[in-house]
Amino acid sequence: MPMQLRTRNILAAAILSAGVVLGATAADVNTAIDKGVSRVNSAQASQQKIDSIDNSIRAAEREYRGVVKEVDGLKVYVEQLDKQLAAQDNELAGIEDSIEKVTLVERQITPLMLRMIDSIDQFVKVDVPFLVDERSKRVEGLKALMGRSDVTVAEKYRKVMEAYQAEIDYGRTIESYRGTLDGREVDFLRVGRISLMYQSLDGNVLGVWNSAAKQWEMLEPAMKSKLMAGIRIAREQAAPDLIKVPVAAPQEAK
């Protein structure tokens, strides 16, 4: 049964009962019923409107709380970003300072490396003449390297230091290698930088470099066995042992 009809019946029954007691007329009863129904309908409409407004308010409140929560989260996120930006600014300032220092170091170290290469070049020319081609090519390679823009200063410095280390190692190692001397193929024996000797492949010609005179000198045949022993040791064909080598007499420093 519809709500309005049910309400009307209930009101009608109540008013009829009252009308009987009070002796009211039928017209009065109908009028009272209509007014009651109107008031009930108005009350229902008002309640529905109130319920609708209440639902809207609750929805708006939930949305507001969600927005407030999101804003709080954004505030925390923005604060964290501000901290990161501050840290990045400090790091950027440090990087810029390092770049300036690197640029200054590069301007200072490049002339130094050029002087170091010239020193190696001059040293090779006045040193004991062993592996002359190899050592000269190393120096020329360093000079060419310094002119390249695609190689970093750090790499250039590393190559220069490698060349210096190689020259240092020559002074404390023993080595035998094959080469040519005056158009003749010979076996050289280098003992550090204190002695550089050679013998022809047939073993009949022996020689030693005289550092004082800056020239090769012949060795007596008695040195052949000692020279051969040194060559075998240098080539790791014999166990390390003491050997006698000719050494130029020390000169008085000027």
What are 186-211's pLDDT values in tens digits? 999 999 999 999 999 998 899 999 98
106 plus 161 within the same structural domain? yes
In this prediction, residue 23 carries a pLDDT of 47
Residues 166 and 178 in one domain: no
132 within a domain of the structure (yes/no): yes
Q: For 54-75, what is each residue's pLDDT tens digit?
A: 888 888 888 888 888 888 888 8
**Least confident range of 2-11, 129-138, 188-197, 240-249:** 2-11
Which of the listed residues 127, 153, 170 is the one where a domain comes to its end? 170
Buried b vs exposed e over 199-214: b needs ≥16 C-beta within 10 Å?
beeeeeebbbbebeee
Q: What is the mean pLDDT of residues 152-175?
A: 93
**Residue 46 has which token pair?**
């008002």
Tokens of 70: 């999101």
Whether residue 42 lies inside any domain: the answer is: no
Decide if 150 is inside a domain: yes
Domain boundary among 170, 194, 213: 170
Based on the fold, state whether residues 78 and 137 are members of the same structural domain: yes
The distance from CA 189 to its chain's CA centroid, rounded to whole angstroms, is: 46
Helices (DSSP H) in 147-210: which residue ranges? 153-170
25-51 residue pLDDT tens: 666 667 777 777 777 777 777 788 887
Examine the domain organization and report whether 146 and 206 are in the same domain. Answer: no
Q: Which residues contact 221 (CB under 8 A, 6 or more apart)?
A: 206
Average pLDDT over residues 240-247: 82
Residue 92, in any domain of the structure: yes
Q: Examine residue 191 and state whether it is found in any structural domain, yes or no.
A: yes
> How many domains are contained in the chain?
3
Domain residues for 143?
68-170
Name the nearest CA neighbour of 118 among 148, 142, 135. 142
Provide the β-strand partners of residue 189: 176, 197
Is residue 87 a part of any domain in this protein? yes
Mean pLDDT, the chain, whole residue set: 83
Q: Note whether residue 44 is domain-resident.
A: no
Same domain, 156 and 88: yes
Give per-residue pLDDT as tens, 138-151. Answer: 999 999 999 998 99
Residues 185 and 161 in one domain: no
pLDDT computed for residue 24 by the predictor: 47
160 and 196, same domain (yes or no): no
Q: Is residue 247 part of a domain?
A: no
pTM of the shown model: 0.58
Residue 152 structure tokens: 């970093």
